[in-house]
Amino acid sequence: PEHGEGGAGNSCLFRHLHAELHIFPGVVERTAHGQEVESELIAAVKFGPEDKIRSVVGDVVGKMEETKVHYRQYQAYILAVINALTQLSQQYDLRINDMFGVQTDYFEILTKVEKTENIRQYLTEVAFKMNRAMEEERSNTTKNVIQEARQYIQENFRDPDLSVEKICRHLHMSPAYFSTVFKKETGQAYIAYLTDVRLNRAVELLMTTEDKTYIIAEKVGYPEQNYFSYVFKKKFGVSPTKFRGAR
């Protein structure tokens, strides 16, 4: 399997790099900023924007060029960066072949890097691909969560205690984050969306049944008839009774 092979490749590469850095101890001293820059690169790939990615990749390559290290040291450092990116790809379940433009396996990436004259451009392209794929994955995850929230509201709007906190316990999300993404995806705040669902159902019941107003209020999640009438009139401009009388 792709991930299994990748994992073995990572382990192998770690040993390879460890040996390289011992053969050339200067690379550790002369690139003490190395891990810090790698962390910056990972953060840029995760969250963008593309200008930031381009800038950090420039730092990654530029600093090594500036220090004028031995070619083997330079190569070992670049491989460490590639290794960090492949680990990130696996963490987010991205297809390494697609991200790195290779056909076979992990070690083809190393060959490709060795043959690539413009390593800055190659790393930038890889980082862009990863960033876009991660953004798409996050977006799809958010859409799925909001779809689940809508479904939950449709099934539970009759519950007068259907609060943000209650739906978030069901979704295993923080109320603050849920409220932000819900409004972004639906264009409405949660309470406004829930109110619309309840009142649309109330209109349906007013038009198709002879139920008393207080019964309809309870059926759509308003135990207090007066409050139901207030919310209804605020949206439709007339009381539930007058609305029904005008049908």
- The CB density around residue 201, as the number of other CB atoms within 10 Å, is 17
Bigger pLDDT: 91 vs 165:
165
Instruction: Tell me what the mean pLDDT of segment 146-170 comes to.
Output: 94
Calculate the average pLDDT of the chain: 80
Q: Which residues contact 53 (CB under 8 A, 6 or more apart)?
A: 41, 44, 45, 124, 127, 128, 131
Arithmetic mean of pLDDT, 141-165: 93
Q: What percent of the chain has pLDDT over 90?
A: 43
Residue 161, φ and ψ in degrees, nearest 5: -100, 25
Structure tokens at 98: 């697609």
CA-closest candidate to residue 171, choices 144, 198, 209, 132: 144
Q: Quote the Cα angle for 68-117-90, to 5°.
A: 95
Mean pLDDT value across residues 112-139 = 83
Q: How far is the CA of 113 from the CAs of 18, 68, 79, 86, 107, in angstroms?
A: 18, 19, 8, 13, 10
Identify the residue with better confidence: 116 or 126: 126
> Which candidate, 167, 173, 221, 180, places its Cα nearest to that of 197?
221
- Pick from 137, 141, 166: nearest CA to 152: 166
Average of pLDDT values for 80-88?
83
